[in-house]
Amino acid sequence: MSENGSFLKERLLEAMKGALRAKDQVRLDTIRLVLAEIKNAEIDKRGPLGEEEIVALIRRGIKKREESIEYFEKGNRPELLEKARREIEVLKEFLPSQLSQEEIVHIVREVLHSCPAGASFGVVMKEVMAQVKGRAEGQVVSAVVRQEMNNMR
**pLDDT per residue rounded down to tens, the chain (153 residues):** 444 557 899 999 999 999 999 999 999 999 999 999 999 999 999 999 988 889 889 999 999 999 999 999 999 999 999 999 999 999 999 988 888 999 999 999 999 888 887 788 889 999 999 888 778 888 889 999 999 888 876
Please write the tens of the pLDDT for every residue from 8-20. 999 999 999 999 9
Domain boundaries, the chain: 6-92, 101-152
CA–CA dist 138, 135 (Å, integer): 9
User: Per the confidence metrics, is the pTM higher than 0.85?
Assistant: no
Q: Which CATH class is domain 6-92?
A: mainly alpha
Angle of CA points 79, 81, 84, to nearest 5°: 110
Q: Residue 109 in contact with residue 148, Cβ under 8 Å?
A: yes
